[in-house]
Amino acid sequence: MGVHVIDRSNLVIMQEEGYQDLPEFLADHQVEVVASLPCYLEENVDQQRGKGSYAQSIKSLKKLNSLGYGMSDSKLTLNLVYNPQGPSLPPPQGPLQADYQRELEQRFGVHFDQLFTITNMPIQRFGSLLQSKGQFGEYMTLLRGAYQADNLQSVMCRTLLSVDWQGYLYDCDFNQMLKIHLKTDRSFKPHLRDLFELDLNGFDIQVAEHCYGCTAGQGSSCGGALGD
Ligand code: SF4
């Protein structure tokens, strides 16, 4: 259909029994890979993801590189994702990408295209973690204090839709997690099939406190810092 498809991966899955042919499958179908690697240092990754996950992730990256992913002479795209380990804003995306590229190449000969820095959203697992540590209010103050109105021009909900596994529509993945459905003038929850007759232009995006996560500092979206 000529549709660009992205696979969001934790990399470790590619080493699991029954999923080891995933890299070849993705390459055969020209699927872009966006893979989470919270640090280029083993200690930090294993601390966040569990022991051994860094080694598994590097193994998967090497496999992807061997198929052409992230290589300059290939059309197969491999992007990495960084998010802070705690309640802080991500560092500037450009310099961090340079650090990742240098370290991964020197240590393992691993290549990738771009690094996306993503702000942790104060919802779901991270939100609960903050609540349990008594840091929720402090983190929200940080996000609100770093609000940049310019980011409103490029937040991803202006141009993307999020679709859940049943076909229902949301402004973004975060609203989907929070079950905040797309707002229209209809009484029913909008579904993918409704797009044949529903013009979405002009309806308000459903915003709430978590939206400060997208608009703080350099901004954040599924494609990393806004404007980069
Ligand atoms: S969290 Fe809010 S600002 Fe961010 S994409 Fe979703 S609706 Fe837009």
Is a pLDDT exceeding 90 seen at residue 74? yes
Alpha-carbon torsion angle 61, 62, 67, 72, nearest 10:
80
CA distance 20 to 56: 12
> Could you tell me if 42 and 88 lie in one domain?
yes
- Tell me the pLDDT band of 186, cut-offs 50, 70 and 90: confident
> Could you tell me if 110 and 143 lie in one domain?
no
Strand partners for 224: 221
**Could you tell me the pTM of the whole model?**
0.89
- Judge contact between 200 and 182, C-beta under 8 A: yes
What are the structure tokens assigned to 54, written together?
């860094």
Q: Is residue 37 in some structural domain?
A: yes
Residue of the CA atom closest to atom 3 of ligand 1: 211
Report the atom number in ligand 1 closest to the C-alpha of 205: 7
Cα 95 from chain centre: 19
If you measure from the C-alpha of residue 100 to the centroid of ligand 1, how many angstroms do you get, rounded to a whole number? 27
Domain count, the chain: 2
> Could you tell me if 15 and 99 lie in one domain?
yes
> Could you tell me if 134 and 194 lie in one domain?
yes
CA distance 85 to 49: 11
Q: Output the ligand 1 site: residues, CB below 6 A.
A: 155-157, 171-172, 174-175, 205, 207, 210-211, 214
> Could you tell me if 19 and 108 lie in one domain?
yes
CA distance 64 to 201: 39
CA distance 195 to 87: 38
> Could you tell me if 145 and 188 lie in one domain?
yes
> Could you tell me if 34 and 108 lie in one domain?
yes
> Could you tell me if 90 and 137 lie in one domain?
no
- Tell me the pLDDT band of 228, cut-offs 50, 70 and 90: low
Q: Which of 91, 117, 143 is the last residue of a domain?
A: 117
> Could you tell me if 151 and 93 lie in one domain?
no
Report the atom number in ligand 1 closest to the C-alpha of 214: 4
Q: Which of 117, 144, 172 is the last residue of a domain?
A: 117
- Judge contact between 91 and 48, C-beta under 8 A: no
What are the structure tokens assigned to 169, written together?
């529509």
Q: Is residue 44 in some structural domain?
A: yes
CA distance 88 to 39: 15
Q: What is the DSSP letter of 72?
A: T
Q: Is residue 221 in some structural domain?
A: no
> Could you tell me if 75 and 20 lie in one domain?
yes
Compute the average pLDDT of residues 118-139: 96
pLDDT for 3 = 82
- Tell me the pLDDT band of 221, cut-offs 50, 70 and 90: very high
Query: What is the Cα Rg of the chain in Å?
Result: 19
Closest CA to 120 of 10, 178, 50, 38: 38
Q: Is residue 226 in some structural domain?
A: no
- Tell me the pLDDT band of 56, cut-offs 50, 70 and 90: very high
If you measure from the C-alpha of residue 156 to the centroid of ligand 1, how many angstroms do you get, rounded to a whole number? 7
Which residues are CB-neighbours of 66 under 8 A, at least 6 positions away? none
- Judge contact between 171 and 205, C-beta under 8 A: yes
> Could you tell me if 193 and 165 lie in one domain?
yes
What percent of the chain shows pLDDT beyond 90? 86
Q: Which residue of 119, 140, 171, 177 sits with most ligand 1 atoms within 8 Å of its CB, as the best mutation to test the pocket?
A: 171
Q: Which of 99, 117, 135 is the last residue of a domain?
A: 117
Q: Is residue 227 in some structural domain?
A: no
Q: Is residue 1 in some structural domain?
A: no
Q: Is residue 228 in some structural domain?
A: no
Residue of the CA atom closest to atom 1 of ligand 1: 211
If you measure from the C-alpha of residue 148 to the centroid of ligand 1, how many angstroms do you get, rounded to a whole number? 14
Contacts of 173-179 spanning 24+ positions with Cβ under 8 A: 173/222, 174/121, 174/123, 174/210, 174/213, 175/206, 177/123, 177/124, 178/123, 178/208, 178/210
Report the atom number in ligand 1 closest to the C-alpha of 156: 5
Q: Is residue 28 in some structural domain?
A: yes
Compute the average pLDDT of residues 27-49: 94
> Could you tell me if 112 and 72 lie in one domain?
yes
* Segments forming the whole domain that contains residue 70: 6-117
